[in-house]
Amino acid sequence: MTQADIQTIRLTNGKTANVHTQLFINNEFVPGHGPLIETINPANEEVICKVHSADENDVNLAVESAYNCYYNTWRKVAPAERGRLLNKLADLMERDKDEIAILDAVDNGKSFVIARDVDVTESIGCYRYFAGWADKIHGKTIDTTFDKMCYTRHESLGVVGAVVPWNYPTMMAGWKFAPALATGNCIVLKSSEVTPLATLKFGELVKEAGFPAGVVNIITGYGHTTGNYLSAHPKISKMAFTGSTVTGRKIMESSAGSNLKKLQLELGGKSAQIVLADADLASSAYWACGGIFNNHGQSCNAGSRIFVHESVHDKFVELFIEETKKLKLGDPFDDETFQGPQINKSQFDKILNYIEIGKKEGAKVAYGGKRWGNKGYFIEPTVLINCTNDMRVMREEIFGPVVAIGTFKTIDEAIDLANDSDYGLAGGVYTQNLDDAIKVTNEVRAGTMWVNCYDVFDQSTPFGGYKQSGFGKELGKYALHEYTQVKVVKIQLQSKI
């Protein structure tokens, strides 16, 4: 680590923070040889700093570092020791919780309080959860014939490549790092070029925790260059990706064209929330509001389509708008802020354009719909009503604080509307009838269904999508299967002539 690597940045609250700007390879921060990338503070549109990016040679250096470490060192480390190191890493994250949250807030625009109390806190829990699994991963003994012994081994894959998005920089990295390391893999992770700062800070903690050099490597760069080099590399055994469906398809192509590496893809969504006639409307409005507007609407599982029974539509919309009005927009370092800016100018323009598209298609803006303030990429939380399922705002992922609300007459119609989508990441239903709740959750084709709540996560609960929202599970025991492979061993006990 050199002083040239560390830069001091000024926050919107007048305080300062230190950031790493180079790549983390083989337990050292080293220069990248790709173009320098400006990272922008979305709250004031100013350049925070410039970070290094990885070219093809840098990617190869990171992969070779991980590959050599895996075969020479890491795969021989006792599982209990892997667990100890993960717990040590969690301890260091706990110590530096505020600093990590500051980097997420300035880089991403999310509320510092939410980044600290939700993103970083839940990430620490994720590392501790998988640390507990490290020495509990084992196979089975299988009875076959009397003269043979047969058993299975759950073995690590080798070097995992991971690509994480900009919306949850610390959390999405944790969802990849924790199970990969617990199961005995080494990893090369590409942070988003838009929000690299907190992820690079993580490299500093990895070294301090005592992980062998090469176990964790962190690079950044653009998806079409750095990401492509990583996903096509022949020594990568698996790619774990969270991001758009378009990019997920490209990673599948890279896998097919290189070494048929294992894939885990958590992609886009257009999740539906269904409000039945008997729902507690005040509670439903509260949860449904958070379900779309959490993280500024920049969540793949955001409940951006709401279908409300026609008999309670007007009352629900009234209550929903009341909840929306409670959301405070503003400086991410104001303790009262719930919604900060959108991530960048491109996303800002895209969201405002979708609002105009919705209006042209016949939707009515019941609340919001405009830019907030005159500096930063802030957009008012926006409520569109009179929406039908053929509208683009009902079918395409907006990835912003925009909700489209429509109506239905019967439960079967609501289920059909929810399923009329290319995506199947998540969904929710609000009702006081257990039979109806079970019917809806059984029949909506989505990887996660919430009942009378939304956007509730826990590190022990698997998460992943159906259809074009991807495949594979993150979190929980199910995630262990994504980072291991099963070997069968058969031993002849008696020689036969």
pLDDT digit string (tens) for the chain, length 497 residues: 455 688 888 887 777 889 999 999 999 999 999 999 999 999 999 999 999 999 999 999 999 999 999 999 999 999 999 999 999 999 999 999 999 999 999 999 999 999 999 999 999 999 999 999 999 999 999 999 888 999 999 999 999 999 999 999 999 999 999 999 999 999 999 999 999 999 999 999 999 999 999 999 999 999 999 999 999 999 999 999 999 999 999 999 999 999 999 999 999 999 999 999 999 999 999 999 999 999 999 999 999 999 999 999 999 999 999 999 999 999 999 999 999 999 999 999 999 999 999 999 999 999 999 999 999 999 999 999 999 999 999 999 999 999 999 999 999 999 999 999 999 999 999 999 999 999 999 999 999 999 999 999 999 999 999 999 999 999 999 999 999 999 999 999 986 65
| pLDDT, position 286 | 98
User: Domains, the chain, ranges and CATH?
Assistant: 6-267+470-486 (3.40.605.10), 272-451 (3.40.309.10)
CB-based contacts of 31: which residues, under 8 Å, 6+ apart? 22, 23, 52
| pLDDT, position 3 | 55
Q: pTM to 2 decimals? A: 0.95
Active site residues: 266
| pLDDT, position 2 | 53
Spatial separation of the C-alpha atoms in residues 63 and 159, rounded to whole Å: 7
| pLDDT, position 494 | 80
